[in-house]
Amino acid sequence: MLGITILGNNSALPAHDRHPTAQLLTTPEHLLLFDCGEGTQMQLARYKIRRSKINYIFISHLHGDHYFGLPGLLNSMGLQGRTQDLHLFIPEKLKTILELQFEVANAVLPFKIHYHFLLEEGVILEEKKFTVSCFKTQHRIECWGFLFKEKKHPRKILPDECIKHEIPSSFYERLHWGEDYSNKDGEIIKNDWVTKANTAPKSYAYSADTIYDENLADNVTNVSLLFHETTYLKDQEERAAARFHSTTIQAAMIARKANVNRLIIGHFSSKYEELDEFEKEAKEVFENCELAIEGVTYLL
């Protein structure tokens, strides 16, 4: 089961008990944190998520509402005695800031940080069951979106059929990946006689902060779940553009163009206390859309 838990759904100015951006992707083996606004470690505690399980952290850009919670989170991991390596995928200059903060505190963390700098688009993390790649978004400063993609699932073995065709179990691993079997008489046993298709791999795109940009759709085509920012309602299109942010309609247009399965929207401006209108507007263009609500987990 893969899910994305929203820890912060507000834009830069925290308000209405909404927090700056942070999202946690849960896989059976790993927790991946996308952005880490101020208070993320408290939000993790609030939703009873163990900080120690996070091994990968991705920071989209260096506006404070996307990373001011990172030094505190790292400190707390250290205070809790973490020894496991941690991987940070960040804009390069953030390393300078973090190291300066460690230095003035005379702090040495008890775990190793691996810094991976966001320099060009492409795969930045390859795990056994998934990859994460980054792509550029159009914002006031350099900004990166992230695309999580499960690898193809192995085909499911049909045990009765395999026995009937006398396929040795040592060949099952190759059956998982679609190979045909050739038996001792030279007869070909077609893979799809003895296996069946598994579920399709899931994917999640976190498109960070961005102005409306049609090209973004190319980076998130067909994903299971897309997060697209909607800092403003549709009547604020000019303001959104001036600040390199997007509206409800614009987010929904990207989702439609990219043919995603489902859209969640967030990064709401603090000027909005009520959020109902956001969902309503986005649904005018893309029906399978929900608000990104803090504490809620959206399955991929």
Structure tokens at 289: 């859309």
Q: From the list 62, 157, 158, 291, which residue makes contact with its own copies (rule: CB under 8 A)?
A: 62
Using DSSP's 3-state secondary structure scheme, residue 45 falls into: helix
Q: Which is nearer to its own copies, 185 or 273 (CB)?
A: 273
> In the annotation, is 235 catalytic?
no
Say if strands 203-206 and 225-229 run parallel, antiparallel, or are unpaired: parallel
Q: Is there binding between residue 228 and its own copies (CB under 8 A)?
A: no
In the complex, the smallest distance separating the C-beta of residue 60 from its own copies, rounded to whole angstroms, is 13
* Binding of residue 115 to its own copies (CB under 8 A): no
For the record, the structure tokens of 276 come out as 């109902």
CB of 42 to its own copies, least distance (A): 5
Pick 69 or 145: Cβ nearer its own copies: 69
Cβ-based nearer residue to its own copies, 68 or 111: 68
Strands 262-266 and 297-299, how do they pair? Answer: unpaired
Distance CA 221, CA 226 (A): 9
Given the complex with its own copies, which of 20 and 145 has the nearer CB atom?
Answer: 20
Q: In sequence order, what are the beta bridge partners of 114?
A: 87
Of 25, 69, 137, 245, which one interacts with its own copies (CB under 8 A)?
69
17, 35, 65, 218: the catalytic one is: 65
Instruction: Tell me how many degrees the CA angle 279-287-298 measures, rounded to the nearest 5.
Output: 70
CB of 267 to its own copies, least distance (A): 14
CA dist 10 to 47, 234, 256, Å? Answer: 17, 17, 24
Of 257, 264, 268, give the one whose Cα is nearest residue 282: 264
Q: Is the dihedral of CA 46, 293, 133, 199 positive or negative?
A: positive
163 interacts with its own copies by CB under 8 A: no
Q: What share of the chain is helix, strand, coil (3-state, %, to 5)?
A: 30, 30, 40
Taking the C-alpha atoms of residue 3 and residue 276, their distance in angstroms, rounded to an integer, is 23
Piece of the chain touching its own copies by CB under 8 A; list 64-72, 180-188, 225-233, 286-294: 64-72
242 binds its own copies (CB under 8 A): no
Q: Can you tell me the distance from the alpha carbon of 198 to that of 200, in angstroms, rounded to the nearest whole number?
A: 6
Contacting its own copies within 131-150 (CB under 8 A): 140-141
The residues with which 290 forms a beta bridge, in sequence order, are 264
171 lies in the site for its own copies, by CB under 8 A: no
Tell me the closest approach of the beta carbon of residue 96 to its own copies, in angstroms: 7
Binding site for its own copies (CB under 8 A): 12-15, 19-20, 38-39, 41-42, 45, 62-65, 68-69, 71-72, 75-76, 79-80, 91, 93-94, 96-97, 100-101, 104-107, 140-141
Residues assigned a catalytic role: 65
